[in-house]
Amino acid sequence: PPAHTPYHMAPPELEELRKHLKEILENNKDGSLRLCIDYRALNKVTIKNKYPIPLIAELFDRLGQVKYFTKMDLRKGYYQVRIAEGDEPKTTSILHPYLDQLVVVYLDDIVIFSNTSEEHVEHLRKVFKILRVNQLYVKREKCEFAQPKVHFLGHIITQGELRMDEAKIRAIQEWEAPKKVTELRSFLGL
């Protein structure tokens, strides 16, 4: 995007800006802040993508029988993806050659899977090479390498076993019952 000199703002305008920023910033678990924007209005007028999000059940089926998992999370999610005008459809194809063979991708979560440790090292090399060529970076603190189990999409997956993450179950059980329509809508994600 083009760079501009910052606009001068009068103190009341600056205070109003701070108020709006506070509404859209959320705390991460590590105490840092992240921008959280409600795109529902924009989504209503957006042209639908012909590349659907993969079915979660199919991802679980693919991961169910392997022995080694590496989970990676792209740093800053999609904010690091540079897209030239007209190239938007290409963004789904970066890891496409390896999808369902050695990697599953759900939004910005990447899980590499293998049956042997040697195979896993080779799979990691392939994925890191693709990420490097495309200048995509992972948040090292959120990576889990060559683990016998993986936490993925609210579940825990180990060789031959899929179960709900106990922390997610507990969070739902301890959720206070909505008392207002707005609280119910918020709970339902509406």
The overall average pLDDT reported for the chain is 80
Q: What are the residue ranges of CATH 3.30.70.270 in the chain?
A: 56-163
Q: Per CATH, which fold does 56-163 belong to?
A: Alpha-Beta Plaits (3.30.70)
Higher pLDDT, 66 or 17: 66
pLDDT at 77 (0 to 100)? 60
pLDDT at 90 (0 to 100)? 47
Which structure tokens are listed for 175?
């959720």
Q: What phi and psi values does residue 32 have, to the nearest 5 degrees?
A: -75, 170
- 77 burial type by CB count under 10 A (0-12 exposed, 13-18 middle, 19+ buried): middle
pTM of the full structure: 0.61
pLDDT digits (tens, 9 = 90+) for 161-172: 889 999 989 988
Query: Would you call 118 helix, strand, or coil by DSSP?
Result: helix
Kindly state the percentage of the chain with pLDDT values over 90: 24
pLDDT digits (tens, 9 = 90+) for 72-128: 988 766 555 555 555 544 444 556 666 657 888 887 788 999 999 999 999 999 999
